[in-house]
Amino acid sequence: MDSKYQNNETIKSLCRILLKNLNDNVQINVNKSIPCNRYKLLSYWLYNKIEQFFTLNFDKIDRKNLYDEYARIWKLFVNYSFRRNLNNCQPEPVSVFDDKWTVRKEFYEYCEDYNTFKKSCTHSSSTCGKYYEYLENKSDLYDQFLTLNLNKHQDEDSSSYEIYKYYDPRTLLYNLPCTFKISPDGRREYVKTSTRNLYQPIVQPDAASQYR
């Protein structure tokens, strides 16, 4: 570690936690076709910790420099320890940590949980309203993420766009076993239905996430 950080116990402690997480994940088979993976999420977890611990003492440039130092150690550790899937085990570049980095973090967290969530939400009527509102929130998050990552019209024809489309929350919304009606006092009342494709798009509420 750079000598200017060696007397900071918080920085060294976070480094030890990072290396432990990397070591614990050594057996994970990373599929490069999946837009989120443990190493991507670990990058956002790391930057989030830097923001939590060092915002008062470090300005934004210093925090990004610290992330770069952790990323340098990360790469050395991966190259020495893993010797496989190296490209897919790398930290995110510091450039992704702009003013909207938390949108990317929340989307990748949602993305990691998507398949597990998908198995349960389309078969439950008792908690369908909860799933409905959750997916509405994530639809807004999904739109924000696409705006950040697909800035050009031609990106909609790219392989990246096709990968991201798989995680569109509206796909699940259209297949939930319920819909809702508005009660006289303005509340939603969710009702079970055997008919699919009853999702009612509305103005979305703000989105609400192992690296959270």
Q: Domain map of the chain by residue range? A: 3-96, 101-192
The top-scoring range by mean pLDDT among 20-34, 65-79, 148-162 is 65-79
Mean pLDDT in the chain? 80
Average pLDDT over residues 147-156: 64
Which residues, in sequence order, are CB contacts of 56 under 8 Å at separation 6+?
none
In this prediction the pTM is 0.77
CB contact at 8 A, 95 and 136: no
Tell whether the model's pLDDT for residue 169 goes beyond 70: yes
pLDDT of residue 67: 96
Average pLDDT over residues 5-19: 92
Burial of 20 (0-12, 13-18, 19+ CB in 10 A): exposed
- 3 pLDDT band (50/70/90 cuts)? confident
List pLDDT tens digits, range 87-129: 778 899 999 999 999 999 999 999 888 888 888 776 666 788 8
CB contact at 8 A, 108 and 44: yes
HSE-up (13 A, CA, CB side) for residue 205: 7
- Which sign does the torsion angle of CA 165, 168, 173, 175 carry? positive
